[in-house]
Chain A
């Protein structure tokens, strides 16, 4: 045994030596912006290369697109653009490592759901943009109301550039046009899910090969008027119009109870598949005509067109949610500047191009004209796939900048003027009382982990109607408290009160 302990000791020493030999130096913080640069013209700016790291397929033609972007950027801001897509399956992991290793990067895609924004702020991976924005990206800065920028604030400072797209969450349902017509469903008359009952019953009885719903799941915070201030995965919320900012357990509300009871009723009635079906499979089954209706989906302007494009079936869509603007939804997709960037000012200028230069933005999101896409109608800005579409088609407009600058890919989108309608919906929706509040999870990391585990375990079957809420709901609430939900609520309330004071 003694020899073994000696060996452990030895290995520890080896480890320590290794540590000494390979110190992980923290790179210096980004330099303060050089003030003179803003006024210089492209020719006077020293040439630099700006990298843009984001999620997506590494397409064959990505370097061609980089070059095309650089052509514009060199003329305007004397910058060469290097696109660095990382496959979606690797993006989160690789960004964590890139930051942990202090590797250099300039612009990076970040969001609450991948390459986590709050963690990036907490880890000092991305820098505050308050000074850079008005100076180096005036067009971008003015492209949205100043209050919108609050969604990207953490501790009072702006850390991300919000991509303009659908910012509110009007949850509702999509239903197959043929079945809706056949069973005389007037979607415009539906204002809550309960109203769908007769239609579901008729489909169940009249269409033996069709399951009425992809899932009985219908619970969404926003449908109940709740703002999930911690995470979509944790039932901690405020009412969006509650000026008192009272934080509560969303799972203990009558709204949640009603939702799971409805799910249970429909599940027992056989309106939904008995077992949970993963998203990708549900999609395939939808395409094959196995379902009539999808609940709890975002019903946005032009949503029915996208749905038809993807699934090949015409649909009707109707929202049952009164939309409002939350931090989480508005900050759903952002671009930020890395702490390790050597040229944060120029990176900001590139962000300006991404968000205000229509040609530049469509180059990165759609590719090169004549190669990856072709005009259908130049005036109405409608395009179609080009001969080499497969060599570059990221299909993630929302990732690169202001989506309202995107070319339409379906004539119907132009007809409905989808971007204008979306912008209008964003602007007309009331803000949540907590818009601009970003929760700092650090003080309650332990509780958050255990609560997240309980939510996945017990909330999922409840909301899908697979268990009886009579017994399962009290059990769920008990387990949430055991896992420390009250601690999270108290912490959220504390942070929210402090935030309200600084507002």
Chain B
């Protein structure tokens, strides 16, 4: 075990060993009597989620992976709440295996950290797991004290009797669970919200001290004995392979251990990263140069997609439908239509891809250290590459330096490269991608062309809405097995186009599945990152067509959504919408999954340079119950900043199959001096939690585009709103 792991996690294997000696465990949702003769001094394992040790330490399994969203703290807090644990007694154990007992129910129990689902998915099971354990502790205390369970209550990490006798959880665990039974998960008593001491309170994140002292260990930091370093020269174009490799000079570089041909690249393994990088630059490789991707050019791609969006004959997969939108629009008093475009975008997480693999000498097993959004697909990648069984994969899930969808793929090439390199040299190998490697071999938010058409009544109300999205399937590329199960419904490509927070009587959204002409992946906000741009920019144009205020026009559509109406009212109040006083404000109402957000941007446009400055942003958000308010605020604010960044600058170009951009100098993400004051209101509602990681992002680009109209009288319909596009729009 590395220092890395000791610092941040205790492996599942060690967890099991520590729990040895006790004796009872139940299956998910199952019940059993607590079997097991327990002996003094052993730990208590009521279910697979937690262990209570005689010293009072409570280990709670963290089933997701951490990339900045703070699930590492938040999910165990949910269990600790119902256990009535003292949070300071809790140690968090990273799940380091594809153990489907802990699977994400919103992803068919695959271990998958994505889609802002963590709290939403695990809220109920982890509460119930905590409540089960609390019930067993009460039973043990009742037995020990010779009273009935009903007479007892709990305080943080202790059972308290009517006479004031206190028995700590550790002490109770040590006394053993003889005679106790584990209640059914459906039968446990859960706390009322008014009783929460942890949920809804600002409990500091567990990882903040390590992340403020340089001690947090990311995959790129992992160091294991006898480890070598590798860097990979990758094929310039997707689908190509090395034909000839002249590595004479590279091998002559001091410290170089081996040059390993990979299916789509050449790995240089050396004693140091410096040697590996130097040797890589000396490789002479000829590539197959025959891939269909050689024909990919992003300008042409977007033109094709726009044609598809405009083509009434294009094949359409209905994504969402209510009433009869085409008929309503055809019969409407007035109709209006517009086309919106958006380019490829790159995740730009600051930690580039890195993984360490240590393949066993017989090639029949491996230990891997990686930061990914899925234990399941990382395990599967190692199994496939080595042709081994799951139990031969020893995984260490590391905290990630951002991800935003970057590390979600079914087949993980950086993990594969580490495994193949380690196998070749017979030593542990750390593979690191440079920033340029990550940009050039990125997996992107797809380019999209969207045609919206709507009708208006004579009195200026919306009368039919038809949203067509011409973009490829993202799932079909990054997880083809999943695509076989869900096609033609691609939530990654289409989310947001359902406009579900509005009550639109005659509604339709279609996916025109266009040919894929780049590597693709989920990206913060997934489809809503562009569908909500188009929908909310179009909504503003409709309001203008109807001669109505954009807020007033939207209010018609939230009559049946009081929580949404509240957000619009709130953000109007926060931004002083009714008194704009020469300010250029733009409104947008979007969200992510079931989380809603209304936002107002105030901008200034420099008409000589084409620069847009966002001066202020107000947001009103309803994400159901909020488990960690301070962190939720941080996530939503980060989501808004991500939205500002992608709206203003972020764009990947592809020429002849090669990504044009290289690094942060030509793929610019928002810097500190581009960030406005951001005010966030979070609605307090009595509803289940639905996620905060992405809700901040989708509303932003349309809010900026709509403010731009207020400032200039012109419409921005192609995201990002780069200075050249702004100048073209102003002078058009």
Q: Is B one of A's binding partners?
A: no
